[in-house]
Amino acid sequence: RQEAAEYYRGHRVPQRMEEALNALFPQRPADLYGELANYFSKFSKAPVICQVVGRKVLDGVGQPTLEVEIYCTVKNYEKRICSTVMSSHSQIPENALPETTEADEKERNYSVSTAVEWVNESLNVMLRDLKPTDQCKVDKMLGEYFTKKVEEKKEIQKQEEEEEEATLALTSCTPSATALPGKKKAAKPGKKVSVAERTIPPAEPVESVLCGSLAIGGTSLAIAKAGATISRIPLYLHIALLKCDQDSPKEFTLPLPMVTLLNYEKISPAKLKLVKEVVLIPPVQLSLKQGIERVLDIQKEMMRLLEPPDKMPSPELADSKKGRAHNRGKKAPPRALKRVSHLGCLITGCDNLEQPLLLMQTACNNIGLELGTDMYLAINCAAHELMDYVKGKYEILTGMFKSPDEMVDMYVELINKFPFIIALIDPLRKEDRQQWNNICCALGSKCYLIAEDAATYISKLKIDQNINIPTCSGVVLKYINQTTVSDLIELTGLLDGQRHITILGSPDGESSDDSLVDLAVGLGARFIKLGGLSRGERVTKYNRLLAIEEELAKNRTLRKANLEFIAFAEEPQPEKQLSDALPPPKQDSLP
């Protein structure tokens, strides 16, 4: 008894028990023991990580990806806190050869299996007993672990190269090796190709992705979600506190949604290759909810316009169907989307550059909207997929080629003719840096020039403090591979300091995890690019964005967005407001 009394006194149990009883008696709570539990929970130890679990799951397009679960010791019990599913990202273009796609799928499978192994073995042991709220410490350890894995990979590659050189040295001693120089002479036709390629900067090599790197990004994001859950705050607020060094922001600005409406296949029989996506951007005057509703109205009208003439019901049949639906007291079911891409948008094709823009104008005019006032457009050009390295030109239409300088002139003419386009995404390859500079000087005060695939990966952007990207208005960042939450926080701070706008973008292989939205809000991204308003894994994120808007409005911490364009000139110029930079669309300028 004496030992027990000393034990409890040493932990101040009698004193705190008396304090609790004195504090709760005047309140006389309905659930007395519940209130006692809440009171004493303040004195319990902070939760610590006890287990990190990785498993292979499927993403929104049926590709394997990584799920990471976090378990913590909470009040002496092991408790599952949260999980996150990483989005998969492929560097293979849609017009790749079947064997290339097959090889990519095999590599992805192996990479996910390696990531699961990393999480369940090394990372599980390494992160045990750490606090999930200590994001910086966790990310530092994850970064060191990844660096170690990279060095191990380099060492293996070095050994393989040495073995290969030794094998070549042995074969060079045989008489058959004398025939090798003769083969080089037979490659004369290739000389023309190499001369043509010198006219443009060659493509930079694709950054290699270490197998298993998903484990780093997945674990970092899962830890961030666990930290928010333990702290009983939303993830976006937890991220904002990490970015602001624990200073709670008084207001939040929601990122403007870039909603993909049309996806133009580059392997379709249609001639147009330049446009990959037509994206809608609601005006800042609307709430997010109003903007999404307006986008849905445009999508319905676009579906009607894209319906083949032979499948459109006659007016008499339509009237009879409406009558039957009315008589039954039920609404007619909505028309199903016939062809929807993995991006959650309508798939179509066009034969010239103006056709999709005129189609958008028609859809908006039919429902009483005006492009440039009630809705804006962005065009994802994906120019890096169009370069013909034999000719040294971009193939913008089937059989029509333009040099990088001609591309700049074409974009200037396009924006002047259709001023409701306020953003061009990847209008050029990242290697055409001079042309990026030219287009920014020509159009920077009228629209955003955004680098998505033209931007360097986050790992390289962090290394180069000068932001190793072409001259541009902003960058689309994607949370993939070995990216950590701390990396994103650091990089967005660098971009903010250099007057670049930040766009958080979803990768091709999306999952139903909606953490990307909280990251975008917490980091203060200007835009969020989530794809279209179809497919569950896409719509889930729009629903999360709507929920955050409602929560911020209720707490009176929602600040309206204020779009500004940047004038790229030798002399610094004041930033232009959206209303000043965009003249109203001229009807007489359209063909």
Orientation of helix 135-171 relative to helix 214-231, angle to 10°: 170
120 catalytic, yes or no?
A: no
Torsion angle of the four alpha carbons 567, 571, 572, 574, in this order, in degrees rounded to the nearest 10: -60
User: In this predicted model, what pLDDT tens digit does every residue of 88-104 receive, in sequence order?
Assistant: 776 666 656 777 778 87
Q: Nearest-CA neighbor of 112 among 467, 481, 589, 456?
A: 481
Q: Locate tokens 């290739």: which residue? A: 190
Q: What is the DSSP string of 80-103?
A: EEEEEEPPB---S-TT--HHHHHH
The two most distant CA atoms of the chain are separated, in Å, by 101
The rounded mean pLDDT for the chain is: 83
User: In this predicted model, what pLDDT tens digit does every residue of 375-418 receive, in sequence order?
Assistant: 999 999 999 889 998 999 999 998 899 999 999 999 999 999 99
Distance CA(427)–CA(40), nearest Å, equals 60
| C-alpha distances in Å from residue 59, one per residue of 54, 103, 508, 542 | 15, 19, 10, 17
Q: Nearest-CA neighbor of 532 among 304, 264, 259?
A: 259
- Write down the pLDDT at residue 62: 84
CA 133: distance to chain centroid? 25
Among 93-107, 166-180, 564-578, the range with the most confident prediction by mean pLDDT is: 93-107
Instruction: List residues bridging with 66 in a β-sheet.
Output: 56
Which pLDDT band, with edges at 50, 70 and 90, does 187 fall under? Answer: very low
| C-alpha distances in Å from residue 287, one per residue of 257, 404, 560 | 11, 39, 9
- Write down the pLDDT at residue 318: 45
Say if residue 93 is in the same domain as residue 153: yes
Distance CA(92)–CA(83), nearest Å, equals 28
CATH for 456: 3.20.20.120
Decide if 74 is inside a domain: yes
- Given a contact cutoff of 8 angstroms between Cβ atoms, the answer to whether 398 and 350 are in contact is no
Q: Are strands 576-577 and 564-565 parallel, antiparallel or unpaired?
A: antiparallel
Say if residue 39 is in the same domain as residue 53: no
Is 27 in a helix, a strand, or coil? coil
Instruction: List residues bridging with 64 in a β-sheet.
Output: 58
Decide if 193 is inside a domain: no
What's the token pair of residue 78? 């092991």
Say if residue 31 is in the same domain as residue 57: no
CB atoms inside a 10 Å sphere around CB 313: 11
Say if residue 23 is in the same domain as residue 135: no
What's the token pair of residue 279? 């994206």
Does the pLDDT at position 486 exceed 50?
yes
Say if residue 26 is in the same domain as residue 84: no
Say if residue 452 is in the same domain as residue 378: yes
What's the token pair of residue 290? 């109003």
Decide if 512 is inside a domain: yes
- Write down the pLDDT at residue 586: 38
Q: Which residues of 531-543 are buried (b: 16+ CB within 10 A; e: fewer)?
A: bbbbbebbbbbbe
Average pLDDT over residues 310-339: 49
CATH for 102: 3.30.390.10
Is the model more confident about 39 or about 549?
A: 549
- Write down the pLDDT at residue 179: 44
According to DSSP, residue 371 is labeled: B
According to DSSP, residue 122 is labeled: I
Distance CA(100)–CA(91), nearest Å, equals 11
Distance CA(399)–CA(262), nearest Å, equals 23
Q: Locate tokens 């994802």: which residue? A: 380
Among 201-210, 212-221, 259-268, the range with the most confident prediction by mean pLDDT is: 212-221
Which pLDDT band, with edges at 50, 70 and 90, does 171 fall under? Answer: confident
Q: Nearest-CA neighbor of 282 among 150, 420, 458?
A: 420
Q: What is the DSSP string of 19-44?
A: HHHHHHTTT--SSHHHHHHHHHHTTS
CA 293: distance to chain centroid? 22
Decide if 120 is inside a domain: yes
Say if residue 24 is in the same domain as residue 117: no
Which pLDDT band, with edges at 50, 70 and 90, does 465 fall under? Answer: low
Decide if 544 is inside a domain: yes
Say if residue 35 is in the same domain as residue 79: no
- Given a contact cutoff of 8 angstroms between Cβ atoms, the answer to whether 69 and 222 are in contact is yes
Is the model more confident about 198 or about 270?
A: 270
Domain span at 300? 234-307+337-555
Total structural domains within the chain: 3
Is the model more confident about 198 or about 427?
A: 427
Which pLDDT band, with edges at 50, 70 and 90, does 267 fall under? Answer: low
Residue 279 has φ and ψ, to the nearest 5°, of -120, 135
Say if residue 12 is in the same domain as residue 60: no
Q: Which candidate in 95, 481, 555, 562 is catalytic?
A: 481
Say if residue 27 is in the same domain as residue 54: no
Is the model more confident about 115 or about 244?
A: 115
Orientation of helix 135-171 relative to helix 485-497, angle to 10°: 100
Residue 210 has φ and ψ, to the nearest 5°, of -70, 130
What's the token pair of residue 356? 């999709």
Distance CA(296)–CA(431), nearest Å, equals 37
Say if residue 374 is in the same domain as residue 276: yes
Instruction: List residues bridging with 54 in a β-sheet.
Output: 68
Find the range with the poorest average confidence among 65-79, 115-129, 206-220: 206-220
Find the range with the poorest average confidence among 182-186, 507-511, 524-528: 182-186
Does the pLDDT at position 266 exceed 60?
yes
Which pLDDT band, with edges at 50, 70 and 90, does 285 fall under? Answer: very high
What's the token pair of residue 541? 């994120």
Say if residue 284 is in the same domain as residue 383: yes
**Percentage of the chain surpassing pLDDT 70?**
82
Instruction: List residues bridging with 388 in a β-sheet.
Output: 393
Average pLDDT over residues 466-495: 84
Distance CA(264)–CA(145), nearest Å, equals 41
Report the first-to-last Cα separation within the chain, whole angstroms. Answer: 96
Torsion angle of the four alpha carbons 333, 334, 338, 339, in this order, in degrees rounded to the nearest 10: -140
- Write down the pLDDT at residue 337: 45
What does the H/E/C string look like for 332-368? CCCCCCCCECCCCCEEECCCCCHHHHHHHHHHHHHCC
